[in-house]
Amino acid sequence: MQKTSFGKYLKWLRKKFKLTQQQLAEMADCAISTIARLESGVELPSRRIFMKLNSIFESIGIVYDELWMESVFGFKAARKELLNAIKKGRGEEIERKLEQFRYLMEECEEENDEEEKRENMQYYALGHLISIRERGFSVEQYLDEMIQTFELRRRIPDFEDIPNIKLSQIEYQILYEMGEAYRIMGDTETAEIICRGLLANEMDPRSPFVIDKYMETSFALARVCMSKNDFATVGECLNYIFSQYVNNNDTRTIIHSLMIQMEVCEQLGDKKGAKLIKDFLEATNELMGYMAGKYDLNWNKR
């Protein structure tokens, strides 16, 4: 990337998140004059400054891309893909992403400091644990390995303190998996403390991942409270999940697309396909009408 392009992109990001040059300089541990020179296109950042900037913007969910360091961003993308595979819990997909991640991790080994290396090992260790947990691992063993994975960087916190601790994405996911393990073991009290702690843990509202994280953890808390017959909390969790889904997903486009597909089936004489779609649409509207009344959702009949 050209120096001027880099500077314009940096300036755009800084203003997007309402940061002054002084604030960004303090976050990147450099002089304000350095930020000014970067934004004006006088120079490109050193590796240290680049990694600082990358960390700053990634912490709020923005991949600091469009730079010339292809190896760095290839690795960042692989790490993100691995975390997404971990969330889905599909063993084969995780193993494929692990192989790619390990290769790129070794490629970037000399470029990363010790802290980054430990964080990368957390991603790798968690992916490996998820992929092998169905191969005879007891829940107790799984939980013990999860604790060791968290403590590759720092001691695991008291679960009561989770709301007040700044967590990285991988630390958040490890604690989430631990909560699930405690639930499976029947320790619903600890599982609930972890889930509530993660929900109370403040995230930067600008992050595009914030809604997904809250929905994921609300679902986990709902399952924990189901086992305790705490239906009031289950209802609160489901109300949040359903309202977020209806408000933030384009269900109208899906419904209208299915209606077009139904017409296609009718035109082509595919009576079975047309009937399946028609039955699905009618059932969906009836179901969502019921859910709208129960959870006060903004759902209009499609």
The yes or no reply on domain 70-202 and CATH 1.25.40 is yes
In whole angstroms, give the CA distance from residue 272 to residue 233. 42
| Chain-centre distance for alpha carbon 16 | 21
Residues lower than pLDDT 50 in the chain = 1-2, 65-70, 302
Residues whose CB is less than 8 angstroms from the CB of residue 138 and which lie 6 or more positions away in sequence, other chains included:
none
Dump pLDDT digits (tens) for 34-72.
999 988 888 777 777 877 887 787 665 555 544 444 455
Parse the chain into domains and list their residue ranges: 3-58, 70-202, 251-295
CATH second-level architecture of 3-58? Orthogonal Bundle (1.10)
Phi-psi bin for 70: left (phi > 0), alpha (psi -120 to 50), beta?
alpha
Dump pLDDT digits (tens) for 157-207.
999 999 999 888 899 999 999 999 999 999 999 999 999 999 999 876 667
Question: What's the predicted TM-score (pTM) here?
Answer: 0.69
The single-letter DSSP state of residue 160 is G
